[in-house]
Structures are given as structure tokens and as C-alpha cells.
Structure 1
Amino acid sequence: MTPDSIRSAAASLLTAYQTGKPIDPLSDTYPHATVSDAYRMQLEQVRAWTQRGEVVVGHKVGLVSAAIRRQMRVAEPDYGHLTSRMIHPEHEPIPSAAFLQPRVEPELAFVLKAPLRGPHVTVADAARAVEFVLPALEIVDSRIADWRITIVDTIADNASSGGFVLGSTPVRLDDADLRLAGCVLTVNGAVAETGAGAAVLGSPLNALAWLANTLAPMGIALEPGHIVLSGSMTRTVPIAAGDCVVAATNGFGSVTAVLSE
């Protein structure tokens, strides 16, 4: 795709944020767009956000489990950027009007104490860079109508990001088993999904290493203090205004998100 086409596609996504109206799939409008093109669209939006004062606070890994890839009809993981606009305090009402088609995912979030720069980052390297882990809820969203996404659509749309909530129980890596961490996701008190850390590429640490190595060709390193959402342990669950969502993960505590009426 030409630079003008990349900018035009990014502009259409930015307009969807402003108007609250989803757009047709970019994979229909630009049928020859590649994954590389999609990440360039993503970066155009990140530049627009930072120019208006937002700060990149980390990254998210998406599409990590086989179940969620089947659900979204895509075949590979992806990543997006997390900015200061996306952070929501636990238990405080999150404005539902900020989202178009929200869904929720239970995750584990890494907070880094050291930089991670690929290529060739191993799981051991990833573990050494982690200061602590927090339970997290990611509110995913799509600016693409009816979630009719391909891998190009979701990558271009910042990996279908929306917002996230972090729990308040930091856990050191050697105090819990990431793979065996069982998770129960409830919406308004009813169990919606169950899962475990092993659903995240075998271990959330694998997702962290994958991210560092995938960012390397773009010259991007993970920085100390950054947050990395490692990916959903379950399928995504649609949510609506007024919903109260809780993710309880064995060994890591719980985290609650409330969508305002």
C-alpha cells in the first residue's frame, strides 16, 4: 500500500473513534493489504494519539489462545499499543459511551523492571525482566462493523484495543505458576468463561517473549515500567452498559471492572 493509502485507512479508524460509528472492514476496502501494511496503519494512529498528549504505557498481545483465534477467525497472534487514555481504575465506573462493540477478556499483566529488546529473547530473558504480575481485564473493542475482522483489520485497529483495568495484588513470578493459574470470569455474578494461563501460548511468559521478538524488526523495545497485557485466558465475552465483570485468577487475586449505565 502507498503511504497515502496507509494514512487514509488510519484516518478512517480515527474517525470511527470520534463518531462512534464502525466502518466497513479495511480488508474489503484494501484487499491487497498485508500484515505489514496493517501495522503501519496502527502506528499512524499511535502517532496521532501521542501528538495530542497520550503516552504509550506498554503493549498488548492478542489472539494468543486457539479458542480465541477460532472465535475471531484469525490464524496468528498480534499486538497493539497501550496508551494512558486506555487505563481505567478498578471499581470506578468506566464510561460505556467510549466503546462501540465492547467485549471483555481476563488476562495477566506484566510490569517490567528491565528493558526487553529482541530478537532472540528467550523465556528466561522475559522472566528476568518482569518486576511483578497483576490480574487484568481488557475491554476489547472494534471499529470494524459487526466484528467482521481479518488479521489485517484487527492489527490495523490497534489489535482491537479499547481499555484495561489492573488489579491491585502484585505477585512475583516465583510466587505462583503462570501456566496453572486457573481463571473464572463472571459477568453480573454469573460465570461466563473459565480458562488458565496455559491457554496463552502455553504460558504468558511465551507471549511476552513473542512480543519482544516481534517488535524487534520495527526497532521497538519493551521499556522498564511498561505494562504488557499477555493475552486472554478465555474467549471474549460481550458486555454492555451497567455490567459488572470480575476475573478471579488462582494465585493472582481478582480484578473488577464496571461499565457505567
Structure 2
Amino acid sequence: MTRVLHRPAREFAVSQPVDNSAAVRQAADLLAAAAESGPCPPVRDLLPDGNIDTAYAVQRMNTSRRLAGGHRLVGRKIGLTSKAVQQQLGVDQPDFGALLSDIAVPQGGTVPPDRLLQPKVEAEVALVLAFDLPDAQCTAEDVAAATAFAVPALEIVDSRIAGWDITLVDTVADAASSGLFVLGEPETHLDTVDLSSVQMTMSRNGQVVSEGSGADWFGSPLSAAVWLARTLARMGDPLKAGDVVLTGALGPMTAAVPGDTFTASISGLGEVAVRFALEGEASE
């Protein structure tokens, strides 16, 4: 089932100055074209000094274009919650990207074979908010109180950059490597589960390919959500009631090919599944 996606459109990072520099436009155009025609070279050399703010400007430009095309902002995703991945890329904080209405896949749904370029799947906890989070100093208690429910989720990450040859600048500019997402079931209230202690197992075609716990990645999915809520509030574009928040992978991501079925189970939350269609099949 798909249970998000019913809020009016709103702007993206409204308080941020618009960067229409030639470098930002060139990187945004390259990534947008790659989404339609195939992977492109890294964009890091187009952006001055590897500036992360400039990379987010690229992300905002392409997100704004998609919003102008009729899609809706329905939430955010958090990436780079793994300390190992942060060390690999030489960073000390996560990144984030936008979730738009056209990238939601129903629970148990099927992804068409031509929908993505280089898909990989990871399992995580998703929060769905009941209230806005406008405070740049919000706490874990504030985020928990603002959350309507949690569900298991699969994020299908993708890269418009050939061979996943990415640095932090590349992935930020490329919508934090967003692809699609699937929300599982049932809906669980946070007062019935400790997110830091949940255990995740993800299988591909019945074989376990990824495992982890809530404590392994950023300490807790709730801690990751606090970081995101504070970051967006400082930017003047806070999380809103109805938003979906993908809180970051609970275990390693796994590449997907046509014909694969992925199922993830998260203790205390439930299950979520998705299938990748073979050539000639249609999505469900």
C-alpha cells in the first residue's frame, strides 16, 4: 500500500539563496540528462573546491525542476549514517535528499526494468510525521512526539554517475543517490518499540544479504532523524506533518538485477518487500 503523498506541493530549502552559477547549472543539467539517457561522469570537477553547499545547490535546482513538473515533496532521506562510509569519504556528518511523490513504490510492488540505472537496495526505518518540526534545537523526545508511526522500509538507491564513482560532492549533488522507496507494514507507534535495539535482516531471493541493528548506524534511527530535523530547520525548510523520513540504512546495501525479490524484516516493526521485474514485465 502507498500511504503518503497527499500533501500540497511546497518549495525546497526556501531560505537558501538561489545559486544559478554556470557550474551549478552545468552539473544539474548533466545529472538530469543522465537520469533519462544513462550514467554520466562525476560532477565533482565541475563544482568549485568540492564545496558541499554548491553540491546542495545542484540538488535543489533539479528538485525544483521536478516540483515544477508536477511532482510533490513528500519527505526526506538521510544518507551516510554509517561511520565506515563517512570515513571512506572523509566526512563527519550525514547528507540528505528529497523524497518526491513519483519515487514511492507500493509494499510488495514491482519495479520496471528500465526505471533505474544502477539500483542497490538497503533496509531502514521510516518515520511518518504527525506534526511539524520547526525547532533547530529539537530533541529526540521532540521527534518521537512528532512521529505518527514507524514502518520498515526499503530504499532503492541509484546513481546517475557511472560506476558509482562518487565522492560526497557527487552524491549530494545527485539527490543523495535517491532512487525509489517502499514503505512496509504494519504502522508501529514509537512508544511500543526501541528503535536503537531493532534487528534487521534483508534477503535477496531468499538468501540473507544484509544484517544490522538500530544501534549500528548513527546510534539510532531516531538520532539520525534529529540531525535531519535540526539541519532542515536551520535552513528554513523544516520537516512537516505528513513527511516521510528515511532514517538511513541498517546494514550494507546490495545490488539488484531484474528478477530479484528483496524482503526485509525489522524486529518490532514488521516486513517490507519489493520485486524487480524482468524485461517485458510491467510494474504492479
Alignment of 1:21-36 (within 5 A): 21-30=38-47, 32-36=49-53
Mapped contact 2:128–2:244 kept (Cα < 8 A): yes
Give structure 1 stretches of 5+ with no counterpart: none
Match of 1:225 among 221, 235, 242: 242
Runs of 4+ in 1 over 6 A off after TM superposition: none
Residue 200 (structure 1) shift: 2.8
In the other structure, the counterpart of 1:48 is 65
Let me know the Cα RMSD of the aligned residues.
1.4
Amino acid at match of 2:28: A
Is 1:111 the counterpart of 2:148 in the alignment? no
Residue 193 (structure 1) shift: 1.0
Is 1:18 the counterpart of 2:36 in the alignment? yes
Moved more, 214-223 or 23-32: 23-32
In the other structure, the counterpart of 1:149 is 166
Deviation readout 1:26-58 (Å, 9 max, x if unpaired):
113335230000111000011110111100000
Deviation readout 1:217-242 (Å, 9 max, x if unpaired):
32111000110000000111111111
Q: Distance in 2 between matches of 1:89 and 1:67?
A: 31
Match of 1:5 among 23, 29, 41: 23
Mapped contact 2:47–2:54 kept (Cα < 8 A): no
Match of 1:73 among 64, 81, 89: 89
Q: TM-score, normalised by structure 1?
A: 0.95
Mapped contact 2:109–2:273 kept (Cα < 8 A): no
Residue 122 (structure 1) shift: 1.1
Amino acid at match of 2:77: K
Match of 1:82 among 94, 99, 116: 99
Match of 1:255 among 258, 263, 272: 272
Q: TM-score, normalised by structure 2?
A: 0.88
Mapped contact 1:68–1:234 kept (Cα < 8 A): no
Amino acid at match of 2:89: R
Residue 89 (structure 1) shift: 0.7
Q: How many residues align?
A: 259
In the other structure, the counterpart of 1:208 is 225
Mapped contact 2:123–2:154 kept (Cα < 8 A): yes
Q: Distance in 1 between matches of 2:206 and 2:265?
A: 12
Q: Distance in 2 between matches of 1:157 and 1:109?
A: 21
Mapped contact 1:66–1:199 kept (Cα < 8 A): no
Amino acid at match of 1:26: V
Residue 131 (structure 1) shift: 0.6
Residue 168 (structure 1) shift: 2.2
